[in-house]
Amino acid sequence: MTKDQKVVAIQEIKDLLQDAKVVYVADLEGLNAGKSSDFRRQAFKQNIKVKVVKNTLLQKAMEQIEGVDYSEMFPSFKGNSALMIAETANAPAKLIQGFRKKEEKPALKSAFVQETFYVGDNNLDMLANIKSREEMIGEIIGLLQSPIQRVVSALQNKSETVEAQTEEAAPVVEETPAAEAPEAAAESTEETSAE
């Protein structure tokens, strides 16, 4: 690889890392072409960018990123490395876990998730169980809605009870139909005139 090609490769990696909040480095070594393609296809469906990179170029690109010190990840950069960038914190871990049900690889080398570094494959289960931002927001909304729903339900039940009580408490007034009233009046006048 020429010097110019290395500069271009480093820039491509930097572009991927620039605003990344979820960065995984995995070992795909040992996957044949078909399985590697299948892994990439599944990653694409889950909106995970996968790029096989040279360790030295990855390290140089990470050193040039401002605002994040990736140096904790550098010791894990040995052998074949695949850079995985995602929006959802646990998506790459779940993808690796799902793929490993059939294969030994890929293995997690290291990850940078929610401003925390995870080094080693032993962190895979913990990363897979991290709740995504959307899941956390959903849970918070559910918690907030629960008391509100109880209050609204109580108010609705109270208004229905008040209406029922009002109907029961209203005095019942017997009304004489309009047709009977003139006859009753006529009878009372006849009785008074006969006397």
Q: Are 13 and 57 in contact (CB under 8 A)?
A: yes
The Cα 195–Cα 192 span in angstroms is 6
pTM above 0.85, yes or no: no
Torsion of CA 43, 48, 54, 57, to 10 degrees: 170
pLDDT in tens, 151-184: 777 777 776 665 656 666 555 555 555 555 555 4
Residue 171 belongs to what H/E stretch?
A: none
pLDDT at 189 over 70: no
pLDDT of the residue at 49: 94
